[in-house]
Structure 1
């Protein structure tokens, strides 16, 4: 039996499953491997060095499982680790592999959603402090005005299953009020963390009518379709038996499976792994 060479989908926890769902809908026939580093989540308040270390350990583990292509379905990892991985780590250790992020494809199209030219970006502290969205959006649409708001409490609430509880409403409103106070003309809000779509209904309920709330799943999925069309040398390596495997770095896989199934909108059965074993 031929070895599986799946597309790897990585996140610091369960948020990347919102992107994974969109990718599966766009490319259903491919094999996939999802890894959530829940044992060390959240990433948002950690240093560049630590996030790079954690992300690179997880990427190496996914390479060892046969993934020739890994998608960092995590904005914090994309902001703080992707460039080093692409420019240094792959060249030194895995020149035949590819690692892609979620920030650039989002920045390429976010300008299409706004009429006022003013965009709000909601993200983790790490994503906001990195300035990655300011840089990338300015590259593709320099006329846009971008306002950022860190939401450090949202990921812990989501990872602990509180995303649909009434008490979360207070923290949703708190950060939205801080963002909208920066400009009353913001008409588009980007959920620049793949966890945040689980709060989408609460976010929309707290905003004035007419404001676009943009999640990244469909954007990243469309970008991946385009990438595979342009890179047959990578696409040709991928196996296509519609197999999906899920892994987590937290040993309570039952808890992960419960919450992950709600993110993925399908049953999730995961296995525990220690990604630190045998890393370079």
Structure 2
């Protein structure tokens, strides 16, 4: 690997992290980026904590081998189930402990309380993210006065990745999970899309939630947080290469990945296959 090529790594279990990459690329186009989707082992949402940890740590080591000083874990499930252990237990013992791994949950919870007037926030996520209780735990740190209600939406990722997110079937499952969430608390006025796939369901969500309810997706929040983070850590920012290159990799079929990426990025891309 060219020692002068030090891209920002962006990781997801599949395609969803592309919605975060899109927002980061918009705000910070000057850097090089390396994206990895672990599609061969996706979805992560229903897997055990130990399995998600193993998969995520393997992927982080791959990014380090590829020269990334900084990796964004743009996957809520991996952020919830693996990130803290990797940051605290694994990263300090690597060859270069000055590398950094950031997730999507902390930057989201730091600002989420600003959106609510009722003090009641709903989290829509995968089974794994909901079971981890990462959002309620983090919200308690920053917004202890805000009540958090969670709803797992296990079929949404499959609908999106099978290009069914604009279908009537999607309407049914969007309505179903929303009804289950609002049955917990009718005064929820802010909904976080706690999975990076879910922004593709925004038209359906707007159709089925009350007009006063705010819908919050993470891409822009994470991108703005990264801008701030790099400004506060010039020693890390100076290590990032600025060639405006973008490389996309997947652990599954690269041809299929490139075509499917169009749903998330709005453009078709070329991808490379990798083995972890």
TM-score when normalising by structure 1: 0.95
1:274 aligns with 275
Residue of structure 1 equivalent to 2:16: 15
Contact preservation (8 Å) 2:230, 2:237: yes
Unaligned segments of structure 2, at least 5 residues = none
Aligned residue for 1:167, secondary structure, equals helix
Alpha-carbon displacement from aligned partner over 1:232-279 (angstroms, at most 9, x marks no partner): 11101000011000001112x22211221221123311111112xxxx
Number of residue pairs matched?
A: 274
Q: Is the contact made by 2:149 and 2:181 (CA closer than 8 Å) also made in structure 1?
A: yes
The root-mean-square deviation of aligned C-alpha atoms, in Å, is 1.1
Question: Which residue in the other structure is 1:110 paired with?
Answer: 112
The equivalent residue for 1:62 is 63
Q: Find the counterpart in structure 2 of residue 120 from structure 1.
A: 122
**1:278 alignment partner in structure 2:** none
Structure 1 runs (4+) deviating above 3 angstroms are: none
Matched, 1:29 2:26: no
What is residue 75 of structure 1 aligned with on the other side? Answer: 76
SS of 2:184's equivalent? Answer: coil
Residue ranges of structure 1 left out of the alignment (5+ in a row):
276-280
What secondary structure is seen at the aligned counterpart in 2 of 1:246?
strand
What's the CA shift for 1:210? 1.2
Q: For residues 75-94 of structure 1, give each alpha carbon's deviation from its aligned partner in whole angstroms, at most 9, with x where no partner exists.
A: 00000000011001101114
User: 1:229 aligned to 2:231?
Assistant: yes
Shift of 1:2: 5.6
Question: Matched residues in 1 for 2:3 and 2:76: separation?
Answer: 33
Secondary structure (helix, strand or coil) at the match of 1:181 reads helix
Q: Name the counterpart of 1:201.
A: 203
Say whether the 8 Å CA contact 1:13–1:159 is kept in structure 2: no
Q: Normalising by the residue count of structure 2, what TM-score does the alignment of the two structures yield?
A: 0.97
> What CA distance in whole angstroms lies between the structure 2 residues aligned with 1:265 and 1:30?
20
Post-superposition shift, 1:161? 2.2
Contact 1:119–1:189 (8 Å) recurs in 2:
yes
